[in-house]
């Protein structure tokens, strides 16, 4: 008998979407408990760290979105075939996390002058550095995937970040990164991913 998974996160994509993409890619059934903000105060104390997301595995509760994603990827064969592949995946995921955190800081900054300064640094320094590395990685891998010859959770984390930046009103100009653009089309066209993206709830971000 397989494990019973219940995934708890707000009714949005945010930093909790990559685990959902992993479930979708693996074709594994789970309960997607989408928490409304109005209900959050009532359930906050029941969560492991007073935050979302958290994952229940046969009733045991585990917090932290990246730890959850890595666990699921290992469970479902989406974490690389060797320790070296796992390292390559972790390098990419760490880069993407840094970009995600910076994008959130820029998006929610209230001081317009400071926001403009942060946005300039983000677009002129961080994006070229991160996406340049990913473009080079894809150029060195003939499969079209980031690591190895099949889908890993690094691929899912990348399309998730790309979508998030678009939702934040700062989409990456993928004309500068043609391999990344082709990668997105390839991953989003995978049958299970395509079905999930088509049917997932529409949320602001």
In tens, the pLDDT along 55-69 reads 999 999 999 999 999
What is the average pLDDT across 26-52? 97
Q: Is 59 left (phi over 0), alpha (psi -120 to 50) or beta?
A: left
Rounded Cα gap, residues 16 and 1, in angstroms? 27
pLDDT digits (tens, 9 = 90+) for 68-77: 999 999 999 9
- pLDDT of 96 > 70? The answer is yes
pTM, to two decimals = 0.94
Strand ranges, E, within the chain: 5-10, 31-35, 54-57, 60-63
Average pLDDT, the chain: 94
Superfamily of domain 5-77+193-199 in CATH is: Glutaredoxin (3.40.30.10)
Rounded Cα gap, residues 66 and 108, in angstroms? 22
Looking at domain 83-190, which of 3.40.190.10, 3.40.720.10, 1.20.1050.10, 3.10.180.10 is its CATH number?
1.20.1050.10
DSSP 98: H
Please name every residue paired with 10 in a beta bridge, in sequence order, or none if there are none. 35
pLDDT digits (tens, 9 = 90+) for 151-203: 999 999 999 998 888 877 777 888 899 999 999 999 999 999 999 999 999 98
Rounded Cα gap, residues 1 and 13, in angstroms? 30
Q: Please state the separation of Cα 47 from the chain's center in Å.
A: 21
- Could you give the angle at the alpha carbon of 81 between the alpha carbons of 75 and 87, nearest 5°? 95
Pair 159, 188: CB distance under 8 Å: yes
Residue intervals of the chain classified under CATH 3.40.30.10 are 5-77+193-199
Residue intervals of the chain classified under CATH 1.20.1050.10 are 83-190
Sign of CA dihedral 83, 86, 91, 97: negative
Q: Is 139 left (phi over 0), alpha (psi -120 to 50) or beta?
A: alpha
């Amino acid at each position: 008998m397989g494990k019973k998974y219940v995934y708890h996160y707000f009714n949005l994509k945010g930093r909790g979407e990559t685990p959902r993409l992993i479930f979708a890619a693996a074709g594994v059934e789970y309960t997607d408990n989408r928490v409304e903000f109005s209900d959050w105060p009532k359930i906050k104390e029941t969560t492991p760290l007073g935050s979302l997301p958290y994952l229940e595995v046969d009733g045991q509760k585990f917090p932290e979105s990246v730890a959850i994603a890595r666990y699921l990827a290992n469970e479902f064969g989406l974490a690389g075939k060797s320790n070296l592949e796992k390292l390559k995946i972790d390098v990419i995921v760490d880069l993407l996390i840094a970009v995600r955190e910076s994008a959130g800081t820029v998006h929610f900054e209230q001081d317009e002058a400071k926001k403009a300064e942060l946005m300039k640094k983000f677009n002129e320094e961080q994006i070229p550095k991160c996406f340049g590395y990913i473009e080079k990685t894809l150029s060195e891998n003939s499969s079209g995937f980031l690591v190895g010859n099949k889908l890993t959770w690094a691929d899912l984390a990348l399309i998730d970040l790309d979508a998030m930046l678009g939702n934040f009103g700062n989409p990456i100009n993928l004309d500068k990164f043609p391999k990344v653009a082709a990668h997105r089309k390839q991953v989003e066209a995978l049958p299970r991913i395509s079905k999930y993206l088509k049917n997932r709830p529409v949320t602001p971000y």
